[in-house]
Amino acid sequence: MTITRVSSEKAHMSGRNQQREIDKTFDHLHAFLEKQPEWQKKCDDLLNRYLDAVARQLGKSRDSVMAALFNGPYCDMAWKFLYEEMVAVAWDNQPSCIEEYLGKRGWRESVAGRRFLREMHSTELAIWEVIDTDPGKSVHLRQPGSDNPPIEVSERSASKTLERWTSLVARVISLGDNRIFSGGILSYTPNDGHQLHQLVLDNPAVMEKHGEFSNTAFSLWAMRIILGADSTIPELFNNDRERVVINQYRFPLNSSIDELLPRLQQHPEFHLEANGDDQRQWCWLRLDDDKEISGTVLGILRIGEKYIHLETNSVERGERGVALLKSLFGNDIGQAIGVLENTDSLFATAMDPLIEEPDSELQEQPELLAVIKAHLDRHYLKTLDEAVPLLDNLTPRECAANPDMRPQVIAWLKTLEINNGKSEQSYDFRWIWDELGLSAC
C-alpha cells in the first residue's frame, strides 16, 4: 500500500516548538473570547443548539446530556470539538471569532500560531478512515470511497490507541510539509462511520447548510456515547460458557520449590512460560481429545518464595484448578485462600477507546501465541466458506466475488479487525483480505 509521506525528520524535530506556539495562541484566543460578551453569547447559543439536538433524539433534557458528556472520560473530546466549532464558524456572514481575533490581536502571535488559526478556519470538517497507524508518531488516513493514496498525519497521542478502520470526523490541516489534526476529533466504529458517510451522500443539500454536517456528526457520536453509558453492562462468558469472574487463589508452601517443580514439569497441562528461566510462571492449558494442547489458557500459575498463586477467569475453572493442584501437590501446599474480582469495571475499561490497555501477559509467551495463531488461522479459513448471518447468510467468498455484496463483506472484515483490539498480540487479518482478493479495496 502506497503512503503519501508528508512529514520529515526536520519537521519532527521542530514539531514540539511549533506545538508550544500553537498552544500559546489558543490560550490567547480563549482569553480574548472570555472578554467578549457578544462572543460568549454566540458560543452559548451554539453549544445549546448542539446539545438540544442530541437531547431531542434521546428524549432527555439538555442538562442530562451535558452531564453525560462533560462529567466523564469523553469530556475532552466533546469540548475540543465544540470549542473549535465555536471559534471557527462564521455567523450570518459575519467574521468568525478567529477572524476577528486575528484582525485585532494577530500581530502578537507567532508565525506558526497565526498560520494554524488561519488553516483551522479555512479547513472543512471531513470524515476520515484510519488505514494504518505508526504508534506514537502518526496515523494514515483516507476519506471513505476515495481511491487516493492514504495521507500521513502526525499525531503522537491518538496514534497509540486508534485502530485500523476506525472512522474519524476531524480537520486535517497542513503546516508546511507536515499534516496535523486541528485538535477536535470524534471517533466512530466502522458501522457508524459508514452510516454518517451515507447520510452525507444521501443528503448533500442538507449537509452543505451552515453547520449541519458538524451538528449531525456530533449528534451521532454523542448518542452512541450516552446510550453506551446508559446500557446495562452485559455478563461476560468464557468459551466454556462460564461467567467471567477473575479468581485468584493463594496456597501456602509446605515444601521447597525444588520438590514441586518436577511434578509441574511432568504434568501435560502445565507449560513453563517461554521467558520463565527461573521456572516461576506456568500456563495451565486445556488438552483436546487427542491430549494435544488446544490453545485455551485455563489459568496462570505463579510460584513465589512462600506461596503458589493461581489465577483463572471463572469460578468453575478456579475450582477445577484448586482440585488439580491439591491432587498434584497434596500436603506440600496448604489450604487455598481465594479472592474474586468484580468484572464490571474491567468491562467498562475494555470498552473505552480512550483508555490504553496494559500489556497482556501473552506478549511474553511466543510459543503459546504461535499455537493460538495457528488455531485462529484454521478457524478463519473455515469461516470464509461458511454462511454468515451478517452477510445475508452468504459466505465471505461469495460476497467478495459479487460486486453488489462486496461492500458488506468489507464492512464485516473491518468489524472483525476493530473488535479484535489493539494489543501487541492482536491477530493480523491482512491475509484474509488477500485470500478474498480485497487487498486493493
For residue 360, the SS3 value is coil
**Interacting residues of 342 by C-beta distance below 8 A, sequence separation 6+:** none
Q: Cα(192)–Cα(216) distance, rounded to whole angstroms?
A: 12
Q: With the CA atoms of 128, 129, 132 and 137 taken in that order, what torsion angle do they form, in degrees rounded to the nearest 10?
A: 30
**Interacting residues of 48 by C-beta distance below 8 A, sequence separation 6+:** 62
Q: Cα(225)–Cα(64) distance, rounded to whole angstroms?
A: 13
* Element holding 311 (H helix, E strand): strand 307-314
Residue 218 belongs to a domain = yes
For residue 237, the SS3 value is strand
β pairing state of 281-287 and 293-303: antiparallel
Q: Assess whether 31 and 135 both reside in one domain.
A: yes
Residues spanned by the domain of 29: 9-230
- According to the model, what pLDDT value does residue 345 have? 43
Q: Assess whether 197 and 262 both reside in one domain.
A: no
Q: Cα(271)–Cα(293) distance, rounded to whole angstroms?
A: 10
Q: Assess whether 107 and 37 both reside in one domain.
A: yes
Please answer whether residues 161 and 353 qualify as being in contact, where contact means their C-beta atoms are separated by less than 8 angstroms: yes
Angle (CA) 41 47 48, round 5°:
90
For residue 315, the SS3 value is helix
Q: Assess whether 367 and 422 both reside in one domain.
A: yes
Residue 308 belongs to a domain = yes
Kindly report the number of other CB atoms within 10 A of residue 55's CB atom: 20
Q: Which of 289, 307, 342 is the last residue of a domain?
A: 342
Q: Assess whether 63 and 178 both reside in one domain.
A: yes
414, three cell numbers: 473491518
β pairing state of 178-188 and 307-314: unpaired
Residue 120 belongs to a domain = yes
CATH number, position 334:
3.30.310
Q: Which of 179, 205, 230 is the last residue of a domain?
A: 230
282, three cell numbers: 506456568
254, three cell numbers: 509446605
For residue 173, the SS3 value is strand
Q: With the CA atoms of 214, 20, 156 and 228 taken in that order, what torsion angle do they form, in degrees rounded to the nearest 10?
A: -40
Sign of the CA dihedral with 7 first, then 22, 97, and 220 last: positive
Residue 208 belongs to a domain = yes
Residue 369 belongs to a domain = yes
Phi and psi at 98, nearest 5°, equal -60, -45
Q: With the CA atoms of 9, 14, 15 and 19 taken in that order, what torsion angle do they form, in degrees rounded to the nearest 10?
A: 180
Q: Assess whether 134 and 14 both reside in one domain.
A: yes
For residue 388, the SS3 value is strand
387, three cell numbers: 454462511
Q: Cα(235)–Cα(314) distance, rounded to whole angstroms?
A: 12
Please answer whether residues 52 and 64 qualify as being in contact, where contact means their C-beta atoms are separated by less than 8 angstroms: no
Start-to-end CA span in the chain (Å): 11
Residue 133 belongs to a domain = yes
pLDDT in tens, the chain (441 residues): 333 333 334 444 456 677 788 888 888 888 888 888 888 888 888 899 999 999 998 888 888 888 888 887 788 889 889 989 888 877 667 788 899 889 888 888 888 889 999 999 889 899 999 998 888 899 999 998 888 899 999 988 888 888 888 899 999 998 888 899 988 899 998 888 888 888 888 877 767 766 788 999 999 999 988 887 655 445 566 777 787 777 788 888 888 888 888 898 888 888 886 554 556 788 888 877 666 665 677 888 888 878 888 888 788 888 899 999 999 999 998 888 776 554 444 444 444 443 344 344 444 455 555 656 666 777 788 888 888 777 878 888 998 898 888 888 888 888 777 766 544 456 778 888 888 888 766
Q: Assess whether 187 and 305 both reside in one domain.
A: no
Report the residue count for the chain.
Answer: 441
Residue 316 belongs to a domain = yes
Strand partners, 250: 309, 337
Q: Assess whether 319 and 260 both reside in one domain.
A: yes
Q: Cα(349)–Cα(357) distance, rounded to whole angstroms?
A: 8
Q: Assess whether 214 and 258 both reside in one domain.
A: no
- According to the model, what pLDDT value does residue 426 have? 64
Residue 356 belongs to a domain = no
Q: Which of 230, 260, 289 is the last residue of a domain?
A: 230
Q: Cα(218)–Cα(288) distance, rounded to whole angstroms?
A: 49
Q: Assess whether 332 and 402 both reside in one domain.
A: no
- According to the model, what pLDDT value does residue 194 have? 84
> Measured over all CA atoms, what is the biggest interatomic distance in the chain, rounded to whole angstroms?
84
Sign of the CA dihedral with 76 first, then 79, 81, and 84 last: negative
Q: Assess whether 170 and 86 both reside in one domain.
A: yes
As for how many domains the chain has, the answer is: 3
Q: Assess whether 399 and 295 both reside in one domain.
A: no
Q: Cα(213)–Cα(182) distance, rounded to whole angstroms?
A: 17
Strand partners, 300: 283, 311
DSSP 236: P
